[in-house]
Amino acid sequence: MRLLASLLLLASIESLTLANPAPRVGKHLRPVIEKRQSFDQGEPIDGKGKGAPILGGTNKQLDLQNPDNLAAQSTDNGVVPNLKWSFSDSKTRIFAGGWVREQVVTDLPSSKDIAAAQQHLTKGALRELHWHRVAEWGYVYNGSVRVSAVDEHGENQVDDLAVGDIWYFPKGQAHTIQGLDDQNEYLLAFDDGNFDATGTTFNVDDWIAHTPTDILAKNFGVNESVFKTIPTPDPYILKANVSSPNVTSPYGKLQGNSSYVYHLSQHPVPPAPGGGGTLAIVDSRNFPIATTIAAAIVTLEPRGLRELHWHPNAEEWLYFHQGQARATVFLGGALARTFDFTAGDTAVFPEDSGHYIENTSDTEKLIWIELYKSDRVADISLTQWLALTPPDIVASTLKIPLSVVSKLKKEKQSLLAAPK
């Protein structure tokens, strides 16, 4: 039956092509709808004589979600490794009070700089007291949370974060997170793709449970019996009542340039150059403590485009929070591959690789987060580079009219609005 259905589909496509011949325009200018009509039905057929139906086993839903994996983009070329992972493909660990699912280097081998997780806490639930050998970055996208932390000087911070707010804990700093609303969820990121390696995360009750009780008694100045109820194994996430934020340190608070929290929700974000959305950059220039993870939170209007660019200082890790997108990554040496994205997907674009991101929806905004293992967000705009290069050089190199080069904008157009 599948063979018959596929042959019927192929026949219908061929008859459609014969009945509606392509307009006589350049091969690179033919309407996008013609080029993608077969791919959008989940079959690798370009309607121009290349490809054939899939007759073996396949996941039709994945094929429909990823037409560019079926060779929909004729400009793709060569062997480019997979640069995409979906949190929906991750193993979810559930606990009393929440859940977590990760994306680490074993899931997405190309992501060497950044590992990430989605984590959920119910009201009062705690991500237990812990620390890491790597830095932790967090972004609240639902509910609200309370973070608390202490540094090596004994200075502390207890702060409440709303949707849009960010925290950053430098490597080795003791901290915890608690849910304040009925349901709370956030993105976590770490500045090492191999986050699950031994010796990366240290939970306090795990340590205490594996320390002799006489040593614990001597250390804390209490009776050994106090430690009979230490949980084993450590719970990771546990239920609790909402804590009191009233704790002060004799050594002072982590505030100002030392603060571990950036309240982006309190900072209005102006439209980005190009008129296609907003781009909020949070890095060490406005969040001084965040020296190893720089971030951009991006909202792109329907059919808008994150302009062609590259990043000279780090690979780009992405989390798509809302909407649907397409991006082509250029690795040099005629190597290029196009990927399709939906909410919950992550991706990594190698350092210095050229790329764009397009919102492929006609109605829905595209929201994503860009992260870099760097102290700052940096990008080089292709259009700006060409506009600020002697125009005759650009025209000669690309074989385009000088008049076209002279009209290129000299200012970055980070987020381009859809043509009207």
CA distance 296 to 272: 12
CA distance 17 to 212: 77
Q: How far apart are the first and last CA of the chain?
A: 45
Residue 375 has φ and ψ, to the nearest 5°, of -85, -5
CA distance 204 to 238: 13
- Six-digit token string for 3: 């063979």
Coil, strand or helix: which one is 51? Answer: strand
Number of residues assigned to the chain: 420
CA distance 179 to 341: 29
The residues annotated as belonging to the active site are 370
- Provide CB contacts within 8 A for 400, sequence distance 6+: 394
- Provide CB contacts within 8 A for 108, sequence distance 6+: 82, 83, 84, 85, 193, 346, 348
Contact yes or no for 224/213 (Cβ under 8 A): yes
Q: How do beta strands 316-322 and 366-372 pair?
A: antiparallel
Residue 261 burial (CB < 10 Å; 0-12/13-18/19+)? buried
